[in-house]
Amino acid sequence: MSTIITGKNGYIASHLKAVIKDARCVSFRNGADGVDLTDADALIHCAAIVHKKEKDYADFYDRVNHIETVKLAKKAKENGVSHFVFMSTMSVYGVKCGVIDKNTPCNPISLYGKSKLSAENEILAMEDENFTVTVLRPPMVYGPDCPGNFALLKRLALAIPIFPKVANKRSMIYVINLAYAVKMVLDDKTSGIILPMDKEYVNTSDMVKKISDAVGKKIILSNFMGKIAASIPLGIFQKVFGSLYYDKAGAMLCDSVSFDEAIRLCVTDDAKQV
């Protein structure tokens, strides 16, 4: 099977290529028209606008994540691609805190989430007996040198001697576990909406402690600081210290790499070999 991955220089795409070794990574900078689908059987669409200020990139979010993505799916179907895998996001639910289950409605609040959901709806409607569509909605992805909130946690763990102790739980997924989940979807020709996550929920304080332990650094977890952090309603504090997770009953639980091993790989030189 010939597989194409969009997002040639993207974080997730590069790790997918490491697991799906015969796949070919291509750029999506010129939109759907710039993607060569010659001899492709499967297409994994990872390219997207993310981590950009919405006020500066409002048009780009919808154009890249929605309009050009749907255009690519139509092109794939017309060119005989049999399986379209779309990397979406947990953000389509618009939930900031609490549990997400099979009955949770989609109500995105960010341009990123809105653009992804718009693309989902149109692409899923294209599915037929010759065109399988899979939508993955991963939670926060972490891994070696990854962008986003995990990078912030890693910097804090390595820089400060004390950190709030909280009792939260979050769904997260190690980037290699996500890659193997996509490979399984391809191998099994799975269709529909998939909620991939690491097998176990992650506690923010425990993650910071494990990052520190992995490099031999001592850090103290403070209950007092935890109570203060949990009481602050600001968005960044909710993202770090609040609970946000998938109900395991409706999720794809991934454990190709254990949590302890994933943290070790994130903070040691061994990560360079993944």
Buried b (16+ CB within 10 A) or exposed e, 51-83: eeeeeebeeebbebbbbbbbbbbeebbeeebeb
What 3-state class would DSSP assign to 6?
Answer: strand
- Mark residue 148 as left, alpha or beta (left: phi above 0; alpha: psi -120 to 50; beta: remaining): left
Using one digit for the tens of pLDDT, what is the confidence trace for 76-112? 999 999 999 999 999 999 998 999 998 999 999 999 9
Q: Per-residue confidence at 272, pLDDT binned at 50, 70, 90?
A: very low
Q: What is the DSSP string of 119-148?
A: HHHHHHTT-BTTBEEEEE---EEE-TT--S
198-253 confidence digits (pLDDT tens): 999 999 999 999 999 988 889 999 998 888 877 776 566 677 788 999 999 999 99
Segment 107-156, tens digit of pLDDT: 999 999 999 999 999 999 999 999 999 999 999 999 988 877 788 888 88
Q: Tokens at residue 232, please?
A: 């602050």
pLDDT for residue 274: 42
Task: State percent of the chain over pLDDT 70.
Answer: 96
Q: Where do the structural domains in the chain lie, given as residue ranges?
A: 3-137, 142-171+200-245+255-273
pLDDT score, position 139: 96
Please tell me the pTM assigned to this model.
Answer: 0.93
The CATH H-level (homologous superfamily) assignment of domain 3-137 is NAD(P)-binding Rossmann-like Domain (3.40.50.720)
Alpha carbons 124 and 70: distance in angstroms, whole number: 10
Residues 6+ apart with CB under 8 A from 250: 101, 102, 195
Q: What span, in angstroms and rounded, lies between the C-alpha atoms of 54 and 176?
A: 29
3-class DSSP state of 270: helix
